[in-house]
A and B are shown apart, each in its own frame.
Chain A
Amino acid sequence: MSYTPPTKNQSPIWAAYNSTAQGVTRIANQILEVDQFINCSADSGASGGVAFPNHACYVHGEVRTTGVSSYTDTYTTHLTTDSQAGGRGYQGSCNVAGTINLDDGNYIISSAGDVYLKTYAFGSGSGEASDAQETRLFGLILNQ
């Protein structure tokens, strides 16, 4: 007699996003929250993150913003695996103008845990600040 057990084949690709404007984000280390989850789950601790308790992940994060008139009012973002800690991996810049242009995505290889996209640092301008309009995370669960 042969027996073929059921196979659960899970996609390694996941995504999380927030398509609602989150207001002005001129606060250092503010979490840019995601509230919609595809093939992943919300962190049960601090809100706005994605939980991966058992797997390392390749993570890409990005934010769409509006309301910036000068590059000195822009902010950079980073991904972190800790809701309170500083940035991990490679941060991106949003709406940089004037002297620099840069890819504005954020990329890390995360260890098992939670992943957040956060604001990181601000320019010195006193004008209007950036408003996060949409936040997106995308990633691959790594088979290690």
Chain B
Amino acid sequence: MTYLTSSIDSRTALKSDVYYQVDYNTTYQAIYYANISTPNTQATLQAVGANFVNIRLPMTTSSYYLEASVGVRDFNRNGTTEWQFFDADTVQYIGQSGFMNTNTSFGTSARQGRRVARALVLSSEATLSVKTVRVRVQTKPSSYSFQQDSSGLSSVSYGGAASLRIIEIPN
């Protein structure tokens, strides 16, 4: 006979990582992120030369909820930008895009709200054992800049810092 004297504390095994935006490749429209030494999730970042950073998602045992904000500066305030997760396997954008308009809807006295691209990548829909995605900027005026330094937006005080968030949902 087996007898357990204490209750079992069961907790859903959610995991998450946060990555810091560091650069942008104009040619490939790709946002760069700094790697972290000890990620919590199975997801990994893989730099492909100086072109872009792939987000590698092992799909056998987990699904993933992804979010990406971007740091933008546009001194000309002359247009809009849109960014979205891009599926490198199927070569198409996935999920919901993020959008900013610095021409007509820049900051006011009211809260502006979050601007974020998001995607839910499901294990049940995966056709590959490892899915590859990245964050791409679809449209932007030439005056837009996405470069960041250690304190956030380059050369802009108090700009904050944008990030990529990965939440792993085990099957």
Contacts and interface: CB of A to CB of B under 8 A. Distances in A.
Contacts, number: 158
A9 to B, nearest CB: 4
Size band of the interface chain A makes with B = 35 or more
Nearest to B68: A103
A109 B15 CA distance: 10
A44 interface: no
Interface in A84-108: 89-105, 107-108
B14 A71 contact: no
A109 B17 CA distance: 7
A6 B6 CA distance: 8
Contacts of B107: 68, 71, 74, 95-98, 101
Q: Could you tell me the dominant secondary structure of chain B's interface residues? A: loop
B78 to A, nearest CB: 11
Interface string B1-38: 11111111111111111101000000000000000000
Contacts of A143: 11-15
19 contacts: A5-B7, A8-B10, A12-B12, A12-B14, A69-B109, A76-B159, A96-B159, A99-B75, A101-B100, A101-B115, A102-B152, A102-B160, A103-B70, A104-B113, A104-B160, A105-B116, A142-B14, A142-B40, A143-B13
Q: What are the nearest 6 A-B pairs in CB distance?
A: A97-B107, A103-B69, A58-B16, A93-B160, A143-B13, A90-B161
